[in-house]
Homo-oligomer: A and B are copies of this chain.
């Protein structure tokens, strides 16, 4: 059998709000569409629905814009209070230009606008912030699947980030549970018997990207199942393993 990985979107999930159970409706919807969650599946859960059930949807009008936020936003279409939220979610500004803020978020991610966005949430006055601890969010879903179905899965929380040097954005991992987010070939031999000194692959990011292929921004597919991928189970997995840390990075 040739190696094959399947990426299956879960449709038909309800709209979520603060405090809702996410894992239950996810398992229900997968079953209802004829693709029940199976042992060793990887669930790719997009950040937006996590933020919704964890109460991370906020009102723009709940903050007052600081002079800095007003000054940054001047001449741009954005509400300065939106910018104020971006500043509050950041711990370090990396670049600031033409209304774009690239920062290190309080969670340790490097991204535009602290990962905050206004799409696919109800209301004109609302923003979705990133979950406080996406690893913990992933672990809760993994445990809920274990409790109800008695099976072991991996869970990746994904979000859409822009990248330096390349136009458009791509989905990457912001939280993991039950899977080592990096596959290391260090010390292994290549197909010609040369030792591969440095090859490490960020499989969690590649899996998140693959999950997006059945999602889409308007399609109502907030979760996908990746089946058939042979990953390394890690009970103590954390996205911290992928985050490089300021001191080692050349693009601080």
Contact = CB atoms under 8 A, between A and B. Distances in A.
Interface of A: 2-11, 33-35, 77, 95, 97, 100, 102, 110, 118-124, 160, 163-172, 182-185, 188-192, 194, 196-197, 199-203, 205-207, 209-210, 212-214, 217-221, 226, 229, 241-244, 249-251
B119 A194 contact: yes
9 contacts: A5-B6, A100-B250, A164-B249, A166-B243, A167-B244, A168-B242, A199-B217, A213-B226, A213-B229
A5 B214 contact: yes
A196 to B, nearest CB: 5
Contacts of A226: 213
A161 to B, nearest CB: 9
A3 B215 CA distance: 8
B166 A201 contact: no
B8 A2 contact: yes
A126 to B, nearest CB: 9
A192 B17 CA distance: 14
A7 B9 contact: no
Output the residue of A160, A166, A221, A226 with the most chain B CB within 10 A. A166
A2 B11 contact: yes
B167 A242 contact: yes
A165 B217 CA distance: 25
Contact of A7 (B7, B123, B244): B7
Contacts of A34: 2
A189 B213 contact: no
A103 to B, nearest CB: 11
A100 to B, nearest CB: 7
A249 B5 CA distance: 35
A97 B250 contact: yes
Contact of A209 (B2, B33, B168, B209): B209
Nearest to A240: B167
Contacts of A77: 197
